[in-house]
Structure 1
Amino acid sequence: MMFSEVVATAEKVAATSSRLAKIDALAALLREARPEEILPLTGLLLASPRQGRLGVGWRGLTSLEVSHATTSELTLADIDGSLDELAAVSGSGSAAARSSTLGRLAARATADEWDFLVRALLGELRTGALSGVLLDAIAKAADRPSASVRRAAMLSGDLGETALLALTGTAEDLDEVGLRVGRPVQPMLASTAASPTAALEMTGEASVEYKLDGARIQVHRHGDEVGVYTRSLADVTRRVPEIVDIVRALPATDLILDGETLSLDEDGGPRPFQETMSRFGADVAREVALRPWFFDLLHVDGRDLIDEPLSVRLGELERVAGEWRMPGIVTRDADAAEQLSREGLAAGHEGVLVKAIDSPYTAGRRGKSWIKVKPVLTYDLVVLAAEWGSGRRRGWLSNLHLGARDPDGEFGEPGGFVMVGKTFKGLTDELLRWQTETFPEHEERRTASAVFLRPELVVEIAIDGVQRSPRYPGGIALRFARVKGYRPDKTLADADTIQSLRALLRT
């Protein structure tokens, strides 16, 4: 398969908002793929190459000075082979070796092919070809029921392997995919609601549990062998020995547990999210210990529980992991749910999860059976720059650089603005068009990738909080920022300060 076919299909998918059109385009591409091309193809389409971590970042990919090819000659196998080379590089001289490999690849690629590959390697394709769309495309290309493909993907935890099985195997092969202790599965996901009361209206009787500001973990145990996996199914077993010891001591032989972990301070309160995540960034244990809270049980001693109602799974979870269970209550009472939410927030947690008591575990899906409720914070910030979009946003000013006011110059010039994050979330086509037309009127300078503005435009941004970050001078970054709307009624003096945002950090 020519790599240009992959790029052209990705551009076609990005250019349409029709889910059916996206599925048709991807299915046509998948049908053309040879068996050995299916894994690398799905990895690139999901901006998650099959090789995993390649040791390359934005600077290394964008700083190359090469002349691109004028005609397409690269195959998908060429790309996959170069990525294999990058993945194999290690030790002394690795940076130079990676740069050399990237340089040769960039020179053979056309400008459009290189642009696609850079975005795929950085996880920034934004074509709308998310896993759900690709799953339906796999089902269509293989002429298999969508439900069978989705279940196989959920239980195998590997969309590429599912595509290979669906496209080259039999219907029976696909249906035989099941839970296997030691093979992580895609986690069940939650929708959102504005309040516990609103969530209960959707779920009926529910388990209302604390929503921690921690890291999702899935833990597998077979005898004395324990594996711990992150939300993205990365294996972090060696980095969390305390969790391994806890699960190894539970009264069962085979287990698959779903939960969260975070670190606690000396008073028993949650430490900042980054301190928890830092434990996943090294191969050795750190000073800060992690504590797990389990909220679901998918398998116990030869018995799969994912199709059982939550009430049954919670009963087994209490039996197996009682003292390590997530705090919560089972109720229909909105007042009781609201009270638990207030208690969780007062303890420093994010909010609550409301889970229908009769719901099965639908791995990898975001339905209405699990509902998360977190307070939404809004701040008035200033637009400092906007990056040119890619994919279907090509030609529009999209990703915003956001700044908070620094009245006393604590982090820069007095009365200036300190960058606190970026976002492209919440931008409608109408807003993108307005930004592209309006921002040049406020332009201070520009580069090939962005337009930098005089600090004159105030925008209302919703966030879930902030986290410590060395990237920005103020030492913080916004979490899950999204645009609510521009505020022409507000002046720069009305913008929120860096100090007010820093106050959200837990001390």
Structure 2
Amino acid sequence: MGELAPTVAFLTGAPTQGRIGVGWRTLRGLLGRPAETPTLTVAEVDTHLGDVATTSGSGSAARRSELLSHLLARATSAEQDFLLRLLTGELRQGALEGVMIEAIATATGVPGDLVRRAVMLSGGLAETAAAAASGGREALLAFRLELGRPVRPMLASPAESLDQAVEGIAEPIVEYKLDGARIQVHRDGDEVHVYTRTLREVTRQVAELADLVRGLPCASVVLDGETLALTDDGRPRPFQETMSRFGSTREEQVKALLLRPYFFDCLHLDGTDLLDASLRERREALHRVAGEHVIPGEVAPSDPAALLESSLDAGHEGVMVKDPDTPYAAGRRGRAWLKVKPSHTLDLVVLAAEWGHGRRTGYLSNLHLGARDPDGGEPIMVGKTFKGLTDELLEWQTRRFPELQRGSDDWTVHLRPELVVEIELDGVQTSTRYPGGVALRFARVLRYRPDKEAADADTIDAVTAMLRG
């Protein structure tokens, strides 16, 4: 039982300690002659990585290297390869989550939906697997929303059109879709925590948001929403400017670039959990507590197209269409939430980059793009593009990409699949050129998405579904 949690964590490419602060090149340099026979246990590896992760202070880098060198020396060749990929993200953290949820359900005899809900509330597969194995259904039902522990976010699926999105929903909720950063805020009395889409805490970096939530008319609350920086005339600043706030605690930057929150969901209010309540009920609580900070939108608008046009005129991306009778559930839940944007965009993984020619000589330019394999395999290549890359992005890519390099030739640097980039395109077409069987039409880079991981990228199924358009 003691090895179950780290085993699940290892299989999904996520050590229980998270990132241990040692890079690819350092690990490669520590590799020595592998052991002839396997002697390592999962528990030993987990304990060893825990020691590495907690090592700090003077001489900590040398001590971490010593600990890792000792661990790798005890590993066989296959084990060394696994550990190297595990610690550098090569196992694509989270990509196998759906498979593991079903595996936990099958192994422990509990419903998959119950496992999925426990993962949403606990924040991790490893903790959920251990609970299911030790206490079954009752242990999973014991997971509750806890103030100060982030809930995995509910996500939207793309819609082919506004008409298709509202079809079949008696009273659809239509809201602005903002070009901001996802936030989840927890308040318990005067204690406030702010988390990103990936559940990373950023409270110190966004002090003005914490202060605002601290002033809301409630004793405790959990709100889901977006935040973005605005210009003096109230229009959204570029996404990159908003994201820059999440990496700095400098007071002068806070004063220069204030963030404005727009909340669209309420998961808890004054002692009452609302996850299982309908969106209709959650919105009532949201309006009571968030007031002017609720995202613009309407219930059953007489002219959804006018609301879409209003959002675009204000500088936003489009609209969200939501079913008012659905509960809150992590991930993409069918047609519960749909996003409508006038242009097609995909979040894809950067697989490689080619050295440029002409004006781009000396820069890593043409990107190889991959869609996520829903079965957890390697991302599936669906195209290339160099369009939309500014001089600033070219310089950044050329500095950053060698840090993620896992191979190269005379023309191309191949990367570990970690970076997500948002691509705008006219559509897709069938093609035998790429492994995905499709090719992107007139693809251009919109921006990188540091708020997303490779596990958040669009799947190959989402790409091929665009053929119908």
Return the TM-score normalized by structure 2: 0.76
Counterpart for residue 412 of structure 1: 361
Q: What SS is found at the alignment partner of 2:320?
A: strand
Matched with 2:295 is: 326
2:278 is the alignment partner of 1:304 = no
Partner of 1:424: 370
2:67 aligned residue:
101
Residue correspondence of structure 1 range 210-229 to structure 2 within 5 A: 210-229=176-195
Q: Distance in 2 between matches of 1:63 and 1:283?
A: 34
* Residue identity in the other structure for 1:321: A
Q: Which moved more, 1:204-213 or 1:274-283?
A: 274-283
Structure 1 residue aligned with 2:285: 316
Correspondence for 2:316: 349
Q: Give me the identity figure in percent.
A: 47
Partner of 2:456: none
How do residues 103-502 of structure 1 correspond to structure 2 at under 5 angstroms?
A: 103-126=69-92, 130-201=96-167, 203-283=169-249, 285=251, 286-287=253-254, 288-331=257-300, 333=302, 336-376=303-343, 400-402=351-353, 409=359, 411-412=360-361, 418-419=364-365, 421-425=367-371, 459=383, 468=393, 470-473=395-398, 479-481=421-423
Work out the CA distance in 1 between the residues paired with 2:289 and 2:94: 41
User: Secondary structure of 1:141's partner?
Assistant: helix
- Name the CA distance, whole Å, in 1 between partners of 2:50 and 2:285: 44
Query: Any gaps of 5 or more consecutive residues in structure 2?
Result: 402-418, 434-440, 450-469
1:241 CA displacement: 1.0
> Cα–Cα, structure 1 residues 44 and 462, in superposed 2: closer, same or farther, change >3 Å?
farther
Distance 1:281 1:161 in 2: 29
Q: Distance in 2 between matches of 1:238 and 1:504?
A: 24
The SS at the match of 2:148 is: coil
Asked if 2 retains the 8 angstrom alpha-carbon contact of 1:210 and 1:351, the reply is yes
Q: Label 1:344 to 1:460 Cα distance change in 2 as closer, same or farther (>3 A).
A: farther
Q: C-alpha separation between the residues in 1 aligned to 2:31 and 2:224?
A: 46
Q: Give the letter aligned to residue 207 of structure 1.
A: I
**How many Å separate the matches in 2 of 1:127 and 1:84?**
18
What displacement does 1:404 show? 9.4
Q: Which one-letter code corresponds to 1:318 in the other structure?
A: H
* Conserved? CA contact 1:377–1:464, under 8 Å: no
2: distance between equivalents of 1:173 and 1:463? 51
Give the aligned partner of residue 24 of structure 2: 58
Instruction: Give 3-state SS (helix, strand or coil) of 2:140's partner.
Output: helix
Q: Is the 8 A contact 1:460 1:487 kept in 2?
A: no
Aligned to 1:79: 45
- Cα pair 1:51 1:84 within 8 Å, conserved: yes
Residue pair 2:108, 2:136 contacting (<8 A) in 1 also:
no
| Mapped partners of 1:225, 1:101: distance in 2 | 38
In the aligned structure 2, how far is the partner of 1:222 from the partner of 1:428?
A: 37
For the pair shown, which has the larger CA radius of gyration, 1 or 2? 1
Deviations 1:448-493 (A, max 9, x none): xxxxxxxxxx9466999999575324999972459866698xxxxx
Q: How far, CA to CA, are the matches of 2:140 and 2:235 in structure 1? A: 45
Query: Is 1:459–1:487's contact at 8 Å kept on the other side of the alignment?
Result: no
Pair 97,225 (structure 1): closer, same or farther in 2 beyond 3 Å: same
What letter corresponds to residue 190 of structure 1 in structure 2? Answer: A
Amino acid at match of 1:479: V
* CA pair 267-86 structure 1, distance change in 2 beyond 3 A: farther
Q: Report deviation, 1:400.
A: 4.2
Match of 1:45 among 8, 11, 31: 11
Instruction: Read off the aligned partner of 2:282 and give its amino acid letter.
Output: R
CA deviation digits over 1:330-386, x for unaligned, max 9?
2265xx33333333334333322211122221234532100122355589xxxxxxx
CA contact (8 A) 2:177 2:339 kept: yes
**Would you say the 8 A contact 1:153–1:159 is kept in 2?**
yes
Q: Deviations over 1:143-196 (max 9, x none)?
A: 222232222222222322211111112532322322222222111111111222
CA distance in 2, matches of 1:469, 1:272: 18
Decide which moves more: 243-252 or 357-366: 357-366
Distance in 2 (alpha carbons) for counterparts of 1:83 and 1:235: 22
Q: Identify if the C-alpha distance between structure 1 residues 464 and 130 changes in structure 2 by more than 3 Å, giving closer, same or farther.
A: farther
Q: Which residue does the alignment assign to 2:455?
A: none
Instruction: Check the 8 A contact 2:422/2:448 in 1, yes or no.
Output: no
Aligned residue type for 2:194: V
Letter in 2 for 1:423: L
Q: More deviation in 117-126 or 351-360?
A: 117-126
How far residue 126 of structure 1 moved from its aligned partner, in angstroms, is: 4.8
Distance 1:56 1:105 in 2: 14
**Aligned to 1:471, what secondary structure does the other structure show?**
helix
Measured in 2, the distance between the counterparts of 1:465 and 1:344 equals 27
- Aligned letter for 1:322? G
